Structure 1
Amino acid sequence: MVIQKNLSIAHAWFEAFNSHNLEKLISLYDDEAKHYSPKLKIRLPETNGLVTGKEALREWWRDAFERLPSLHYKVTSLTANSDRVFMEYIRIVDQEDNMLVAEVLEIKEGFIVASRVYHG
């Protein structure tokens, strides 16, 4: 039951992300959620790749959606257990090479409390 709920959160995450529905995306996260991404570390070096809280997440993704209007993800694999979902997807942006990405969503009480992005 919990595993299915976690998979449904992951599906909702992709739906919100790919439609660039910022508020729906943010609503999936806990108020104090942490997000780590190598792209964050490059774009905002002062963060060392980590942001905390919904407002920081909102600003990060708002910037990404504005800079990269074609940004979307193609899911290749979802693996869930009782407290996390491991997601593999292809990052697709016009005029950029496709990028293979792995991301882990840690989920507690129906909300994402942490997410970590991995890519080369």
Structure 2
Amino acid sequence: MSPEQAAEFAHDWVESWNAHDLNRIMAHYAEELDFCSPLIQQLGADASGTLHSKEALRAYFATGLDRYPNLRFELQQVLPGVQSVVLYYRSINDWPAAEYMELNAQGRVQRVRAHYAAPAAGH
């Protein structure tokens, strides 16, 4: 993935989340996927923290958008790789977040590992 492709993907991904446009968000993802996040557990979507279908992912994202009506992401950095990208951004409650995403041949996300950290006290 070129730096330009990664930046274009990242900006569209963040803009779709900030617009709370679930259809646009879902357009970034493949039908079959492996999406792992601690927020999956926290929001009660799956105790394992991993989802495998676009349908389950859509339900999880809908819950997140409902639970956090003021959700807004702020993109910090985009790190392109070979058919992958890491997005570093500010997430819910201003938490630092990083998502490793692998894309399929059609440019859709098929594997995600999401990481979050609550800001340190006093920051």
Task: Give the TM-score taking structure 1 as reference length.
Answer: 0.86
1:119 aligns with 2:83: no
Q: Considering only aligned residues, what root-mean-square deviation do their CA atoms show, in Å?
A: 1.6
| Amino-acid identity (%) | 24
> Which ranges of structure 2 fall in alignment gaps of 5 or more residues?
118-123
> Which ranges of structure 1 fall in alignment gaps of 5 or more residues?
none
Compute the displacement of 1:61 (Å): 0.7
Compute the displacement of 1:114 (Å): 1.0
1:101 aligns with 2:97: yes
Q: Quick check: 1:30–1:113 contact (8 Å CA) kept in 2?
A: yes
- Higher percent of residues as strand: 1
Compute the displacement of 1:46 (Å): 3.9
Distance 1:18 1:45, change over 3 A: closer
Compute the displacement of 1:43 (Å): 2.2
Compute the displacement of 1:108 (Å): 1.6
Look up the match of 2:79. Answer: 79
SS at match of 1:47: coil
User: 2-side partners of 1:54 and 1:17: how far apart?
Assistant: 16
Q: Quick check: 1:78–1:87 contact (8 Å CA) kept in 2?
A: yes
Q: Quick check: 1:6–1:107 contact (8 Å CA) kept in 2?
A: no
Q: Quick check: 2:31–2:54 contact (8 Å CA) kept in 1?
A: yes
Q: Which segments of structure 1 move beyond 4 Å, counting only runs of 4 or more? A: none
Q: Quick check: 1:86–1:105 contact (8 Å CA) kept in 2?
A: yes
SS at match of 2:75: strand
User: 2-side partners of 1:13 and 1:26: how far apart?
Assistant: 9
Distance 1:58 1:107, change over 3 A: same
SS at match of 1:105: strand
Compute the displacement of 1:14 (Å): 0.9
1:93-119 CA-partner distances (Å, limit 9, x unpaired): 4xxxx2111111111211111111112
Task: Give the TM-score taking structure 2 as reference length.
Answer: 0.84
